[in-house]
Amino acid sequence: MSALIQKLKAVNFKEDFINFPLYIISRPFKGFGDLKYEDRGSPYFAFAMMVLLCLFNICDSTYKGFIITGYYSENMVVNTPYVLIMTIAPVILFVLGNWSVTTITNGSGSLKQIFMVYAYASFPKLILDVIGLVLSNVVTAEEAAFSTFFYAFGTVAFMLYLFIGLVMIHEYTFTKSLLMVILTILAMCIIVFVLSLFITLTNEVFVFFSTVFKEIAMRF
């Protein structure tokens, strides 16, 4: 515990949490290069980013303006575990998928670096989405495009930064990077498929044993 506190104290908050993310926004190629070669950036920021993303998604489903959602409920219920899983699961899936593809194709990025790239790439998206969320509460129906624009722009920016980051840390050419993105999506699909298969089969086994147990219990 004390070791963790010591480590946390060693984190340069201003550099890792403010300066470097903003630096990446303005100079993505140089920034992600620094992340790999100069060892800039911090995994703590990445974890903090995940927490922030979760928080934002909960706020998004709670406080989004009536004009954008088009639906209002007096006692709104937000399924928090669902929102959390839907935020974290894609991250894990992408990082694992990308890592498993790039390790067998001589990508030089490590798991930690992929995760950090994902986190730093979603930083601009978070800022834009927050702006969109705030705007969604003060726009009229004709101005709704302003709010949705920030959401859409955030998504596009995220994809762009993520791609640049992956190009930098894996040291791929452009075409190979594109191929890797497609393969990554494929890998993600395979992971989901295997996972669902696993769950179904586990269920089968469980049902089998419970049936056997029931049979025995009936007999005695």
Please give the residue ranges that form the binding site for other proteins (CB under 8 A).
66-67, 69-74, 138, 140-142
Q: How many whole angstroms separate alpha carbon 200 and alpha carbon 208?
A: 12
Q: Which is nearer to other proteins, 67 or 111 (CB)?
A: 67
Smallest separation, CB 142 to other proteins (Å): 7
Q: Which is nearer to other proteins, 70 or 81 (CB)?
A: 70
Shortest spacing between CB 115 and other proteins, in angstroms? 32
Using CA atoms, how far apart are residues 131 and 53, in angstroms rounded to an integer? 14
Q: Which is nearer to other proteins, 69 or 80 (CB)?
A: 69
Q: How far is the CB of 79 from other proteins (least distance, A)?
A: 13
Element (H, E) at 173: none
In contact, 43 and 116? CB cutoff 8 Å: yes
Q: In this complex, which beta carbon is closest to other proteins, that of residue 67 or of residue 92? A: 67
Shortest distance, position 67 Cβ to other proteins, whole Å:
6
Residue 74 or 215: the one with the smaller Cβ distance to other proteins is: 74
Please, what is the minimum distance in Å from the beta carbon of residue 140 to other proteins? 4
DSSP 29-92: HHHHHHHHHT--S-HHHHHHHHHHHHHHHHHHHHH--HHHH----TT----HHHHHHHHHHHHH
As a whole number of angstroms, the distance between CA 150 and CA 131 comes to 7
